[in-house]
Amino acid sequence: MDMEEKPKYGQPKEFDPDFKGPIQNRGCTDIICCIFFIVAIVGYVAVGILAWTHGDPRKVIYPTDSLGQYCGQGKLEKQPLLFYFNMMKCASPMVLLEFQCPTPQVCVEKCPDRTLTLVTAIGNTQDWEYYKSYCRADPGTKPVVDILQKKLCPAYLISSKPFLQRCFPSLGKKGDVITVGDQETFNDGDKMRDAKDLVAGMKNATIVMEGRQVAMKIFEDYTKSWYWILICLLVAVVLSLIFIVLLRYLAGIMVWVMIFMVIAVVACGIAHCSIKYVNLKDTPGSNITLQQLGFQPDFSLYLHIRQSWLAFIIILAILEVIIIILLIFLRKRIRIAVQLMKEASRAVGYVMSSLFYPIFTFLLLTIVIVYWGVTAVFLSTSSEPVYKVFNETDCPHARQTCDPENFTLSTMKRDCPRSECLFAFYGGETPYHKYLIILQFYNIFLFFWCANFVTALGQMTLAGAFASYYWAPNKPSDMPAYPLCASLGRSLRYHTGSLAFGSLILAIVQIIRVLLEYIDHKLKGAENKFAKFLLCCLKCCFWCLEKFIKFMNRNAYIMVAIYGKNFCRSARDAFFLLMRNVIRVVVLDKVTDFILFLGKLLIVGLVGIFAFFFFSGHTDAFKGATPSLHYYWVPILTVLVGSYLIAHGFFSVYAMCVDTLFLCFFFTLLNITNTTQR
């Protein structure tokens, strides 16, 4: 008896001559995962409420005095600056470990503008009244010895200037000699010291705040340029809409116009960089290397050396060559892809509301990102102030925690009379504080899950709408009145579980990649080459796995939108259907993606060129309107990233339409083949 040959890629679906698109009579899929997702969301909300209850972002915004009070807030509203009693104590290596100088600190209204010692000030009524404004408490008529022993007032004041809401000595230079307040020495209340002794303490205190300094400048740049950034992003929206509309009516012409315009824009970039490279030839200091310059937060410095422009030329030239080579080898496939774009344009024309669906997806993603960011900030600031014993390195209680309210009468103070209980950092020993890292991990994981869910919802919604177009015999009479709304309703009502299932798989892979990056960061100084090699292989494998899962999820959502089956069955059907047409899928799908990528590149290039000439001030026409910025690359990078996301959102509609039409066409082709064989 002859055995019937088993199909290589699964059993194909039976041909249904009456099939007219996404089935209406369907049931809920992957209910268990839907329940898990809802429970996870409820837990996510609970974590957010817990973080908002305990967190206080002021801990990372305002400086904190020795009692853990915020300068410039509450009863200290008129005292926004932090003053250090003894800046030289900040030279201790413990500063970099505990992020706190082991010296009393008070909030003051303004930094001292003169240099005084306690001994000289207490003998002059006017100077003493001024000096007392920098004391922790009113010393009254106590003698100098008691004031210093109880650390009620600093031993000396130095002329200072505010920097990042802190008072730092006003250091200067006379030739090669460092000065403070125009003097080479100062009196610390005990003896004369050189001004250079302050440098180490200032350096340590500055290192702790360098990141914040850059962040504050970037924030200030955003406050000055946000409306211009929005205008540039609006230009990106208008350009994207123009390209989409032109693709609707002139798909063939627009594809080739996009291709040649990208080549022209890159060529213009090469020409501009070459001119800059030549013009800097005789400029002093332009021949230093990038390695010699090192990292500089002010990116404009890189534009004054020739090697930067040479790097730009090489990068753009390589990109230009790659694009031209691909066009030469893919010219025949591009013609076929153009036909697909024409069909996709007709589908988009019948479902015009799909062009605006990315805005809905963008709003949902914005909510997810904002919720994650706010929760992360509140979680990271939900610790309590921790106080430690400072100033007595030979004391057995040094670095131990203490209670500032009862420290004066404690055994620690009795054993070490000159010790101080000062605010050290934010932490905590309660169960809540011990599990903060787990809550942060949960916050990141739910962020990935929710973000992937929103993206999946958009893919399934668009797939259902375009499938309605493909299977309608008479367009548009056989299509639903509102295909996009109908598809969105079906996706949420019946397939929330399937969306959550696919998103969960992707989120697990993404969180593993985050953990691998964290481990890689921790092992950067390690000498174990095998461990580095293994970690590199794991990162590469999980990157490939993430790309594959995204590809399979996308096609699985299309099958779910059409046939209403669960996620696993839909993924299996999509996989077998694609494997039967693997050559067509790999070639045509990727050629189409390449064309759409060129469209995104063109929009980003046009908006980016405008943003560069506007914010950099290199063009006389914009000099009057250009805002004064610390780092003009901040708005430029923001515009580039935002423009790409906007263009990606609009062109993703076309990409989803092409993928949906692909699967529908392959299914039709398979049914025709099976019917012919019978």
Instruction: Quote the pLDDT of residue 1.
Output: 39
| pLDDT reading at 141 higher than 50 | yes
Instruction: Quote the pLDDT of residue 546.
Output: 92
CB 84 within 8 A of CB 101: yes
Domain assignment of residue 459, yes or no: yes
Locate 607 and state its tokens.
């908006």
Instruction: Quote the pLDDT of residue 181.
Output: 57
**268 and 408 belong to one structural domain:** no
| pLDDT reading at 407 higher than 70 | no
**506 and 552 belong to one structural domain:** yes
- pLDDT: is 460 or 283 the higher one? 460
Residue 94: pLDDT band with limits 50, 70, 90: very low
CB 217 within 8 A of CB 209: no
- pLDDT: is 591 or 604 the higher one? 604
Domain assignment of residue 635, yes or no: yes
Domain assignment of residue 383, yes or no: no
- For 564-584, the pLDDT digits (tens) are 889 999 998 888 877 776 666
With pLDDT > 70 as the criterion, what percentage of the chain qualifies? 72
Domain assignment of residue 195, yes or no: no
**554 and 407 belong to one structural domain:** no
| pLDDT reading at 117 higher than 60 | yes
Q: At 575, which helix (H) or strand (E)?
A: helix 567-580
- Which range (132-141, 175-184, 244-253, 444-453) has the least confidence? 175-184
**420 and 450 belong to one structural domain:** no
With pLDDT > 90 as the criterion, what percentage of the chain qualifies? 11
**561 and 484 belong to one structural domain:** yes
- pLDDT: is 275 or 26 the higher one? 275
- For 449-472, the pLDDT digits (tens) are 999 999 999 999 999 988 888 887
Residues in the chain: 678
Instruction: Quote the pLDDT of residue 427.
Output: 58
- Give 586's DSSP letter: I
Query: Could you tell me the CA-to-CA distances from 70 to 168, 421, 501 in Å, in that order?
Result: 18, 17, 46
Instruction: Quote the pLDDT of residue 15.
Output: 46
- Which range (328-342, 377-391, 573-587, 617-631) has the least confidence? 617-631
Instruction: Quote the pLDDT of residue 391.
Output: 60
Q: At 224, which helix (H) or strand (E)?
A: helix 197-279
The overall average pLDDT reported for the chain is: 77
Contacts of 262 (CB under 8 A, 6+ apart): 323, 598, 601, 602, 605
- Domain that residue 356 falls in: 213-376+438-676
Instruction: Quote the pLDDT of residue 3.
Output: 43
Give the span between the Cα atoms of 22 and 621, in whole angstroms: 55
Locate 178 and state its tokens.
């460092």
Could you give the maximum distance between any two Cα atoms of the chain, in Å?
Answer: 119
**414 and 276 belong to one structural domain:** no
Give the span between the Cα atoms of 511 and 268, in whole angstroms: 41
Q: At 664, which helix (H) or strand (E)?
A: helix 633-677
Give the sign of the dihedral formed by CA 223, CA 228, CA 233, CA 237.
positive
CB 422 within 8 A of CB 100: yes
**581 and 627 belong to one structural domain:** yes
Instruction: Quote the pLDDT of residue 510.
Output: 92
- For 30-75, the pLDDT digits (tens) are 899 999 999 999 999 999 898 888 777 776 677 777 777 788 887 8
Instruction: Quote the pLDDT of residue 95.
Output: 46
CA 97 vs. chain centroid, Å, equals 27
**422 and 510 belong to one structural domain:** no
CB 424 within 8 A of CB 387: yes
Domain assignment of residue 468, yes or no: yes
| pLDDT reading at 494 higher than 80 | yes
| pLDDT reading at 99 higher than 50 | no
Tell me what the mean pLDDT of segment 326-336 comes to: 75
**635 and 612 belong to one structural domain:** yes
**281 and 402 belong to one structural domain:** no
Instruction: Quote the pLDDT of residue 574.
Output: 84
> Which of 169, 201, 227 lies at the terminal end of a domain, its last residue?
169
Domain assignment of residue 307, yes or no: yes
- Spatial CA neighbour of 227 closest among 627, 650, 632: 627
Give the span between the Cα atoms of 634 and 615, in whole angstroms: 9
Domain assignment of residue 58, yes or no: no
Give yes or no for a cis peptide into 476 (omega within 30° of 0): yes
Domain assignment of residue 63, yes or no: no
- Spatial CA neighbour of 501 closest among 592, 570, 548: 570
> Which of 136, 169, 202 lies at the terminal end of a domain, its last residue?
169
Residue 506: pLDDT band with limits 50, 70, 90: very high
CB 359 within 8 A of CB 393: no
CB 467 within 8 A of CB 561: yes
| pLDDT reading at 667 higher than 60 | yes
> Which of 104, 137, 169 lies at the terminal end of a domain, its last residue?
169
**224 and 276 belong to one structural domain:** yes
**364 and 411 belong to one structural domain:** no
C-beta atoms surrounding 317 within 10 Å: 16
- Which range (92-96, 415-419, 468-472, 591-595) has the least confidence? 92-96
Instruction: Quote the pLDDT of residue 45.
Output: 93
- pLDDT: is 412 or 548 the higher one? 548
Secondary structure (3-state) at 229 = helix
Domain count along the chain = 3
User: In 495-528, which ranges are continuous DSSP H helix?
Assistant: 496-522
The per-residue b/e assignment along 46-78, b for 16 or more CB within 10 angstroms, e otherwise, is ebbebbeebbbeebeebbbbbbbbbbbeeebee
